[in-house]
Amino acid sequence: MSLTLNDIKHPKISTWVNEMIAMCEPDDVVVVDGSQEEYDRLMQKCVKAGLATKLAKKENCYLFRSLPSDVARVESRTFISSVKEEDAGPTNHWIDPSELKQTMRKLYKGCMHGRTMYVIPFCMGPLGSPISKNGIEVTDSEYVVLNMDIMTRAGKKVLDIFNADPNAEFVPCLHSVGKPLRECESDNGIWPCADVEYKYITQFPEERLVWSYGSGYGGNALLGKKCFALRIATVLARDEGWLAEHMLILKLTNPKGEVKYVTGAFPSACGKTNLAMLIPTIPGWKVETIGDDIAWMKFGKDGRLYAINPEAGFFGVAPGTSAESNKNALISAEKNTIYTNCALTEDGDIWWEGIGYPAKGKLVDWKGKTRDALPKDKAPKGEEMAHPNARFTAPAKQCPCIAKEWEDPAGVPIDAILFGGRRPSTIPLVHQSLSWNHGVFLGSIVGSEITAASTIDASQVGKIRRDPFAILPFCGYNMGDYFKHWIEIGKATTADKLPKIFYVNWFRKDADNADLPGGFMWPGYGDNSRVLAWIFDRCNGDESNVVETAIGYMPKTLNTDGLADCYKKTLPEILKVDVEGWKKELADVKENHYPKFGKHLPKELSEIIDMIQDRLNKA
Ligand code: GTP
Ligand code: SPV
Ligand code: MN
């Protein structure tokens, strides 16, 4: 039997949910229990409504197709609605909270007609961890409930925590697809959502409240993820002295059996999931996964930073995922997985560009059109079989390389933090910061080519933009103050206890070199283990393979055993300081990036930029 409103014994939650019911006017209300029986029932409802297709070839796997207008996060419709505009800062969209609430209340009024409201009690982080936090998402989307079941700890076990403690805190998260149904109307196979001008993904940071309207996709709708675990959590972290970051967490073991834990911030669709599940190409090394998208880090009693993964599943980019690039992700998504906007094969399996084998016969593309497989499986931009931001939602516990510590309530102690992005030029394969503040500087200047994960506007893809700390679309307050918070974290413990900071770039390009697949000067994927090995040794204080350059510490060389010859040739180039390129880079930061933050820019960062410019002038 499913749970009902009467099963909620937490007065504040009951009050809030009742207010949402009065506003949204659903036909029915269900409190999500998180059981398999419930999951199966909701999935059947989606199949009946024509929204989901069961895959004959994969156990308990389903395919959903969204509308072409609802395929990714919509940053232009994402708001940090703080009381003061200055607190949202120069990089966030802002509307006055009372004005925005008025606008959104009108949209929410009666928006759940013809639909069921689901009340999802969920926990971000391992149950019982002092670092974890709880929320309630109210939604009218079965797709959201099913995804939240995989991505978070959801249901009765979390409701029990609330019911046991009437003072237990929760972040209220309201979601509607914004598509009320008239009497006798049904979705009839069409993904429900609102037109883009009616979409709002709003965070109210002072109230620790999320309101999302009009989109059913990913980070817009699974509110535990980007809205709570990043935009709201960055604010909590600032106030409470910890870090909420857009970072993977991995466990790295060397051939001697020694272990280091590494986090990495790369912008959306820039390789976090791949790095977190990497299979090393150098013998004796091992990578295991703790998390692939978000890290919450708090100081332990020993003065070190400990990280947990607040999520319980992977919402991974499908295209490009193959047995060669990321076998562990494919195995994670073999069963009990939701696929969104992938192509469907005739025999009832999924397919996408870069899956590693050709499509045969006819395919149903992500828009629902039946088409012949393309020669070479390469479609012109805009005509892909799977959308470039097609995703799989898979339970983390199914990952073959999940680390045994992944649900440790204490978290894992972090030795190194990586920053990176897609930079076709200038940025070398790897360099290490000279100090904590220099590392904060490197985080602050992260830039990347725009990817399909961050925009529904395909014409933007490929342009370079600054994405500091890979958190530009996910920071719930003024980014200048966020830089300051990172500087403060560096003062909260002794230098030897702080993680070492590195900047990596797997994406240097030489378009003229026909030997290089995709023009990339570095093979990436499993070969990134060669870089991880150097980082590991640096964390152990190894001084044998290092040069101090104008921009930081760099390896003299890397382990190249078994590396393809074409990359042995490109390696010296990508391990060199491009002095002229860096001078331009810093000039751009000084002229176009830092001035945006005005008086919120910490003086420490201006000091670092002067120091590096000075070193470059002497180089
Ligand atoms: P989000 O889930 O959007 O935050 O993305 P992510 O950072 O987890 O990115 P992911 O690992 O899913 O990779 C995105 C795309 O980058 C995929 O198409 C990958 O195949 C590609 N990619 C990942 N790692 C590498 C690499 O080392 N080299 C190259 N050339 N491509 C990579
Ligand atoms: C990202 O865009 O960084 C993602 C996908 O991880 S989404 O959950 O849609 O934000
Ligand atoms: Mn992400």
Radius of gyration (C-alpha) of the chain in whole angstroms: 24
pLDDT of 375 strictly over 80: no
Domain ranges in the chain are 5-50+74-241, 245-311+404-618, 314-398
Residue with the smallest CA separation from ligand 1 atom 5 is 269
- CB distance 454 to ligand 1 below 6 Å: no
Per the rule left: phi > 0, alpha: psi between -120 and 50, beta: everything else, 375 is: beta
Strand-strand pairing, 116-124 and 153-154 = antiparallel
What average pLDDT does range 248-254 have in this prediction? 98
What average pLDDT does range 585-592 have in this prediction? 95
Ligand nearest the Cα of residue 326 is 1
Q: How many CA atoms lie within 13 A of 1 on its CB side?
A: 3
Ligand nearest the Cα of residue 225 is 2
pLDDT tens digits for range 378-390? 788 889 999 999 9
Residue with the smallest CA separation from ligand 1 atom 24 is 271
pLDDT of 228 strictly over 80: yes
**What's the CATH number for 5-50+74-241?**
3.40.449.10
pLDDT of 582 strictly over 70: yes
What average pLDDT does range 317-339 have in this prediction? 97
Alpha-carbon distance of 123 to 133, in angstroms, equals 6
Torsion of CA 165, 167, 173, 179, to 10 degrees: 70
Q: Which atom of ligand 2 is nearest to the CA of 226?
A: 10
Check residues 619 and 392 and name the one with the higher pLDDT: 392
DSSP state of 590: I
- CB distance 567 to ligand 1 below 6 Å: no
What average pLDDT does range 329-344 have in this prediction? 98
* Res 386: pLDDT: 97
* Res 277: pLDDT: 98
Alpha-carbon distance of 98 to 92, in angstroms, equals 18
Beta bridge partners of 370: 364
Residue with tokens 């196979």: 189
Mean of the per-residue pLDDT values for the chain? 96
DSSP state of 373: P
Percent of the chain topping pLDDT 70: 100
CB 36 within 8 A of CB 417: no
Q: Which two tokens stand for residue 219?
A: 């980070």
Query: Which of 556, 560, 538 is closest to 547 using CA atoms?
Result: 556
Three-state secondary structure of 230-284: HHHHHHHHHHHCCEEECCEEEEEECCCCCEEEEEEECCCCCCHHHHHCCCCCCCC
* Res 454: pLDDT: 79
Query: What is the chain's length?
Result: 619
* Res 374: pLDDT: 82
Strand-strand pairing, 343-345 and 362-364 = antiparallel
* Res 360: pLDDT: 86
* Res 1: pLDDT: 66
Alpha-carbon distance of 199 to 202, in angstroms, equals 10
- CB distance 319 to ligand 1 below 6 Å: yes
Q: How far apart are the first and last CA of the chain?
A: 71
| Ligand 2 interacting residues, C-beta cut-off 6 A | 73, 218-219, 225-226, 268, 293, 315, 453-454
- CB distance 266 to ligand 1 below 6 Å: yes
* d(CA 226, ligand 2 centre) in Å: 7
Query: Which of 149, 98, 140, 90 is closest to 119 using CA atoms?
Result: 140
Alpha-carbon distance of 252 to 401, in angstroms, equals 11
Q: Which atom of ligand 1 is nearest to the CA of 326?
A: 20
Alpha-carbon distance of 109 to 582, in angstroms, equals 53
* Res 125: pLDDT: 98
CB 392 within 8 A of CB 314: yes
What average pLDDT does range 429-437 have in this prediction? 98
CB 8 within 8 A of CB 163: yes
Buried/exposed 50-84: b ≥16 CB within 10 Å, e otherwise: ebbbebeebeebbbbbbeebbbbbbbebbbbbbee
* d(CA 183, ligand 2 centre) in Å: 35
pLDDT tens digits for range 552-563? 999 999 999 999
Residue 326, Cα to own-chain centre: how many angstroms? Answer: 17
Could you tell me the fold of the domain covering 245-311+404-618? Answer: Phosphoenolpyruvate Carboxykinase; domain 3 (3.90.228)
The best mutation among 78, 220, 268, 321 to test binding of ligand 2, ranked by most ligand atoms within 8 Å of the C-beta, falls on 268
Residue with the smallest CA separation from ligand 1 atom 11 is 271
401 in catalytic set: no
Alpha-carbon distance of 412 to 298, in angstroms, equals 10
Alpha-carbon distance of 23 to 34, in angstroms, equals 25
The best mutation among 73, 248, 266, 273 to test binding of ligand 1, ranked by most ligand atoms within 8 Å of the C-beta, falls on 273
Percent of the chain topping pLDDT 90: 94
* 3-state DSSP assignment of residue 197: helix
Q: Which two tokens stand for residue 396?
A: 């983390």
* Res 371: pLDDT: 95
CB 420 within 8 A of CB 246: no
Whole-structure pTM value: 0.97
pLDDT tens digits for range 66-104? 999 999 999 999 999 999 999 999 999 999 999 999 999
pLDDT of 34 strictly over 70: yes
DSSP state of 290: E
State which amino acid sits at residue 163: N
* 3-state DSSP assignment of residue 3: strand
The best mutation among 73, 77, 446 to test binding of ligand 2, ranked by most ligand atoms within 8 Å of the C-beta, falls on 73
Return the CATH number of 314-398, one of 3.40.50.670, 3.40.120.10, 2.170.8.10, 3.30.420.40. Answer: 2.170.8.10
pLDDT of 455 strictly over 90: no
Instruction: DSSP for 32-86, please give it.
Output: ----HHHHHHHHHHHHHTTSEEE-TTSTT-EEE---TT-SS--GGGEEE--SSHH
pLDDT of 31 strictly over 90: yes
pLDDT of 461 strictly over 80: no
H or E, element range at 162: helix 156-164
Edge-to-edge order in the sheet of strand 416-420: 286-291, 248-253, 259-265, 416-420, 500-504, 430-432, 553-554, 547-548
Q: How confident is the model at residue 50 (pLDDT cuts 50, 70, 90)?
A: very high
pLDDT tens digits for range 256-315? 999 999 999 999 999 999 999 999 999 999 999 999 999 999 999 999 999 999 999 999
Alpha-carbon distance of 527 to 562, in angstroms, equals 10
